[in-house]
Amino acid sequence: MSTGAPELVQDVGGGIAPGRETSAEIAARSPLELFWRRVRRDRVTLASALFILGLVVVAVFAGQIVDLVGARPPNEQSTKFLDEFGSASGPDFAAHSYFGTDGLGRDVFSRTLYGARISLEVAIISTFLTVLIGVVLGVIAGYFRGWADTLLSRLMDVMLAFPVLLLALGLGAACSFGQGCVQMSFANVGQVMVVFGVAGAFLVVGWRLLRARGAGDARPRAAELAAGAAAWLVVIVPGLVLWLAVGGHGALITPGLPVVIFVIVIASWPYIARIIRGQTLSLREKEFVEAAKALGASDRRIMFRHILPNLVAPIIVYTTLVIPTTILFEAALSFLGVGVQPPTASWGAMISDATEIFDTAWWYMTFPGLALVLTVLAFNLVGDGMQDALNPKTRGR
């Protein structure tokens, strides 16, 4: 991390990497400076970013905020807070019931606040995994082309053809009774995936080496082989996560956050990977990549220093597009009853509950719905603003 700012490998998830300048440097503004100047002038983006920041604070300190304003904890049921007919009661500031209560007498305000936790958790984890897998595999497919590309592109096709919602519903339906699916624990699924992935990687490398011995012309490069093997990380990594992190104690498949995240990642990574693959295909033909090759740069260097930095803009844009869809996806799954399980508060689950009493309790659907809409809108607007601010050709100032 030495010379100029763009030499830094830019972070996949957010913003541009910080640039440093030696004090003696004259004039030239660093890219970060430019980025800041542009964002500062863009009020909509700034407001949306502040909203998201506020949302993060709310999610992190949900418990403290609820205590501070005197609202009740999110899962506390009480008939005291129902109206005289025993159904949900509306907002009552005197009773510290700001958003009213649901049909069980739980406080909608604190449930909405706690729901932000679930939404952001899902958004961050699954977007991170989606973008990571999508970018890695997209760049590998686009840069090495050939058989690695064929393999990965067909994998993407299969994934895109997969009825993901059906998978989620099936998982939910089959596993929502009692202890969950007794037949197979997450650990077992993870083990199978890891074994499958490692075997696949070996097979691919072996097959490639065998084929190369037959045809004299194309000798496989070590990096190319490594990339082919790395393609199987898409199976191995989630497998390891399931095995070690999620299913370490022999947990069973029950509907919940891990299932939600798994389904979202499986459903979304091919979109990112396709876009990144296409961009990489066009970037690798640029003369500056050829120039780097003529200088003797390694494949890794070309991918990290020359291709990835030029992908930052699309990555950020699609990341900000993925975040709201993951939030909506989680809400949809919870709405359908296969997401976060009660009594944990989730916006989707709350909206789902609210549909039954919507004609009498408008507040129950309005507040979580509003939170959902505003959050998704804010992320989308920030995405737009980032795109403008990160484009090096946007007019200076």
Partner 1 sequence: MTDGLAGPVGDAVVGAAGIAVGAGAPALVEVRDLEKRFPLRRGPLQRETGAVRAVDGISFDVREGETLGLVGESGCGKSTTARLVTRLLEPTAGTIRYRGEDITHRSRRELMALRRDMQMIFQDPYSSLNPRQTAGSIIGEPFVIHGIERDETRRRARVRGLMEQVGLNPEHYNRLPHEFSGGQRQRIGVARAIALKPRLVIADEPVSALDVSIQAQIINLLSDLQRELGLTILFIAHDLSVVRHMCDRVAVMYLGKIVEVASAEQLFAHPRHPYTGALLSAVPVPDPQLAKLRRRQVLGGDVPSPTAPPAACRFHPRCPKAQPICSREEPALEVKEGGNIAACHFPLTIEEVAGRLPVRPG
Long-range Cβ contact pairs of 93-100 (< 8 A, separation 24 or more): 96/69, 96/70, 96/71, 96/72, 97/71, 97/72, 98/69, 98/71, 99/363, 99/367, 100/361, 100/363, 100/364
How far apart are CB 202 and partner 1 at their closest, in Å? 24
Which three-class secondary structure state does DSSP give residue 253? strand
Does position 397 interact with partner 1 (CB under 8 A)? The reply is: no
Q: For residue 308, how many C-alpha atoms fall within 13 Å in the half-sphere facing its CB?
A: 24
Stretch in the footprint of partner 1 (CB under 8 A) among 25-33, 80-88, 226-234, 243-251: 25-33
Contact call for residues 255 and 338 (beta carbons, < 8 A) = yes
Stretch in the footprint of partner 1 (CB under 8 A) among 46-54, 254-262, 307-315, 359-367: 307-315
DSSP secondary structure string for all residues of 283-318: HHTSHHHHHHHHTT--HHHIIIIIIHHHHHHHHHHH
How far apart are CB 161 and partner 1 at their closest, in Å? 20
Give dist(CA 177, CA 268) in Å, integer.
Answer: 28
First to last CA, the chain: 27
In the bound state with partner 1, the residue whose beta carbon lies nearer, of 308 and 327, is 308
Does position 5 interact with partner 1 (CB under 8 A)? The reply is: yes
Does position 286 interact with partner 1 (CB under 8 A)? The reply is: yes
Both tokens assigned to 13 = 């998830």
Contact call for residues 143 and 292 (beta carbons, < 8 A) = no
Residue among 202, 207, 288, 358 that touches partner 1 (CB under 8 A)? 288
Does position 312 interact with partner 1 (CB under 8 A)? The reply is: yes
In the bound state with partner 1, the residue whose beta carbon lies nearer, of 2 and 79, is 2
Site string for partner 1, 189-228 (x = CB under 8 A): ----------------------------x-x-x-------
Does position 287 interact with partner 1 (CB under 8 A)? The reply is: yes
Residue among 294, 359, 395, 397 that touches partner 1 (CB under 8 A)? 294
Written as one letter, the residue type at 295 is: L
List residues near partner 1 by CB under 8 A: 2-7, 21-22, 25-28, 30-31, 217, 219, 221, 286-288, 290-297, 301, 305-306, 309-310, 312, 392-393
